[in-house]
Structures are given as C-alpha cells and as structure tokens.
Amino acid sequence: MTARVTAPGTSDEIHTIAEALGSRVLATRRLAGGFSHETCLVTLADGQVVVRLGGPDPAIEAAVMATARRHVPVPEVLLVLPAAAGEPAARPAMVIEYVSGTPLEQVLAADGPAGPPLSDLGAEVGRVVAGIGTVAYDRPGFFIDEQLTVRGERPWSTQLPEVAASCLAGVPEGRLDPAIRDGWRELCAVHAPALSAVDGHARLVHADVNPKNILVSSDGGRWQVAAVLDWEFGYAGCPYADAANMLRFGADYPAEFVDGFRSGFAGHQPADLPLAADWAYLGRVLDMFALSDLVTRPAGNPVADQAAEVIRHWVADGVPA
C-alpha cells in the first residue's frame, strides 16, 4: 500500500497515515529515540500505533524487521509509505504496532519498575540478542533492497583503519585532542587484523542494540524482552558486534546485569556458529567502527561525548580483553 505524506511536522502527515489505515486520529505524542527520524505514538479510533517519520526509505528496514521477527520479539510493521516523488518535503514513514513495555535504560537507571534480579534481566537480554544472529546470509555486507540482497564488502579487517581515519577527519573541534586521534588511528590499525577471524561471518546484526532500543517487562517473577526496536542500521556480519554495542557503556550499568548479559549471550549462540573463545574482544574491535562514527556527531551530542570518553580510555589502556 502506498500513500502520500504531506509537509513534515504537520498533522497532515499523521492524518494521511490514519486514512491509509482506515482509521482516524484521536491524539499524538512524540517519543524519544531514533537518530535520523521522528517517532510518534498515535492513538487512533481503533487502537495505538507507532509512526516513524523521516530518515532513509524504510522498506529495507521493514524487511529486516519481518525477518528478525521470526526469531526475536520485534514489532509488526503495519504500513510503509515511501516519500512522495518530486516532493522533497514529503517524508517517508513506517507504521508499526505499539508494544507495551519499559525501556531497558529506565530499568538499569532504577527509574523503571522493580522486578526479578538484574542478573536474570541481563541473561534474558543476552539470550534475545544472541537470537538475532540466527538469521544467516550468503555473505557479509549491507542490504541493498527489500529482498535483503547483500552487497559484498571488503573484509572488515582491511576496512577498519581507513574508516577510523576518515571519521576522525570529521570529529568536531575540541572533542578529541590530536594525540588521542593519533592514538586511536594506531590502535585501530594494530587490532584490525584480529577481525580476519570473523570476516566471513554473515549473520543478521542489529547494529544499534542498546538499552534505549529494548523494551522489557516482568511477569510471573521473570523478565521478558517485549521488543527490540530501531533496525535501520541492520546488516550481515558478525553477531559479536551486537554484544559489544550493548556493553559499550557497560561501566554505567549494574554489574549483575552485565554479567548476566554476557552469560546469556554466550550460552545461546546459534548451533551452527561456534562461539570464539575471544568473542568479547572481537566484538570490541568491531565496535571500533561504531565508536569512530559516533564521535563525528555534532557538538553537544551526549552519546558522542560518551563514545569519546571510551576512545580516550582505550587509547590509554588498550582494547579491553
């Protein structure tokens, strides 16, 4: 189904979507989340949906979500609306089912509801994140169409040094001093060859697994992952990257959650992909791609500043083993 979405930031967008769904709008509320798009909770006459506006064409992301949904909790995509041809102000949109739950970040910050032990929560999140890697592709790389055809890539082990150098050229002034930039370039070059062990992995990677993108609930004395959100960066590669993404700022999380996550992730790997003994280290090396990109975000971006702090620690102390 296709429909035209009108000018951004107006109620016309939401009402056009409601009409495409055969309903009418009762209320809207902006939600947090999403780097390249705007997210709204829309209450319709017949229920609630989540609408995401802007960003790249969501057709590929919708296909990734449909595939992942067979293995892990993912909201159902109800509608995809491409940008209207010839109207640069018309944003693409994706409508997904509303899933009730508490953002994991709130639970880890003790702002969410109390529940079973956080070690159990970590184990459940680790189990679900491991399940993403159940989906296999014929080669590693990025998706280029709705059929999830993978565009082949040069090995990650050969790309890391040049990607890091390119990103560092775009880091805002004052975020990383010259010595740290030089140290990060050298660190990436030294550790990149280790990725040759996983260059051939071709599993689904979410690529933005973090506590903001996971909804959880507790029922009957146990934690459950209600949904994994925001799949726009998904690609085919090594699942260890998702584990490293989740634990990128693990020093800020309760230790029992971190230990539970590591155990849950390691204990639920796909049977046809044996877990490497140094999987956590390899994940961190893969995460050097993301850290290099994150620090290019505009000044004042809190996640970019956190990433810069991680880079400073790794330059001083080495990549954690």
Q: For residues 271-302, b (16+ Cβ closer than 10 Å) or e, as one string?
A: eebeebeebbbbbbbbbbbbbbbbbbbeeebe
pLDDT band for position 34 (50/70/90)? low
Q: Over the stretch 168-177, which tens digit does the pLDDT of each residue have?
A: 999 999 999 9
**pLDDT at residue number 83:** 76
- The CATH superfamily of 11-97 is Phosphorylase Kinase; domain 1 (3.30.200.20)
- The CATH superfamily of 102-317 is Aminoglycoside phosphotransferase (APH), C-terminal lobe (3.90.1200.10)
Lowest mean pLDDT among 7-11, 140-144, 188-192, 253-257: 7-11
Q: Over the stretch 187-201, which tens digit does the pLDDT of each residue have?
A: 999 999 999 999 999
CA 224 to chain centre: 19
**pLDDT at residue number 88:** 52
Q: How much is the average pLDDT of 132-146? A: 97
Residue 74 CA to residue 291 CA, distance in Å, equals 26
Q: Indicate if the pLDDT at residue 32 is higher than 80.
A: no
**pLDDT at residue number 29:** 92
Q: How much is the average pLDDT of 207-235? A: 95
Q: Over pLDDT 70: what percentage of the chain?
A: 93
Residue 82 CA to residue 309 CA, distance in Å, equals 38
**pLDDT at residue number 89:** 57
Closest C-alpha to 250, from 225, 277, 284: 284
**pLDDT at residue number 114:** 77
**pLDDT at residue number 1:** 35
Q: Indicate if the pLDDT at residue 203 is higher than 60.
A: yes
Residue 241 CA to residue 195 CA, distance in Å, equals 11
Residue 312 CA to residue 62 CA, distance in Å, equals 36
**pLDDT at residue number 8:** 35
Residue spans of the domains in the chain: they are 11-97, 102-317
**pLDDT at residue number 193:** 98
Q: What is the mean pLDDT of the chain?
A: 92
Residues 6+ apart with CB under 8 A from 43: 25, 26, 27, 28
